[in-house]
Amino acid sequence: MKLFSCPMALLLFLLQAVPGLGLPKDTLRCVGYHGFCVRSKSCPENFAAFGTCAWGHKTCCIDTTSDFHTCQDEGGHCVPPKIKCLEEQEGLCPHREWRCCAEV
């Protein structure tokens, strides 16, 4: 039993010590955009829904009063990396590698 408990304790320690190691991808994306996860489907006032967290069980909310505005709020379009923008603009897209374009 001791042989099993030592590796298990080490694994639990690593999951707690290394930030982001045990978090789902959608949660990491949300936190990467300075968002937070809520259990309800709607976000509090001054926050906008920006995808999901916890494997789709929670809603990712980002602050609309900060500099982190979504691309659509700014009148742009989110496009994948293979599409070239005629004019890029500021704004967050649901996929980190996507860009916000004023014109495609």
CATH number at residue 86: 2.20.20
Please state the domain count of the chain.
2
pLDDT for 26 equals 86
d(CA 33, CA 38): 15
The SS3 call for residue 41 is: coil
d(CA 13, CA 38): 26
pTM check: above 0.85:
no
Mean pLDDT per 10-residue run, the chain (104 residues)? 53 50 81 83 84 88 72 81 86 77 78
**Do residues 74 and 59 both lie within one domain?**
no
**Do residues 86 and 99 both lie within one domain?**
yes
The CATH number given to whatever domain includes residue 49 is 3.10.360.10
Using a 10 angstrom Cβ sphere, with 0-12 exposed, 13-18 middle and 19 or more buried, the burial of residue 1 is: exposed
pLDDT for 44 equals 84
Range of the domain at 85: 69-103
pLDDT for 10 equals 53
The SS3 call for residue 32 is: helix
**Do residues 42 and 56 both lie within one domain?**
yes
**Do residues 59 and 75 both lie within one domain?**
no
**Do residues 40 and 73 both lie within one domain?**
no
**Do residues 52 and 75 both lie within one domain?**
no
**Do residues 31 and 57 both lie within one domain?**
yes
**Do residues 73 and 58 both lie within one domain?**
no
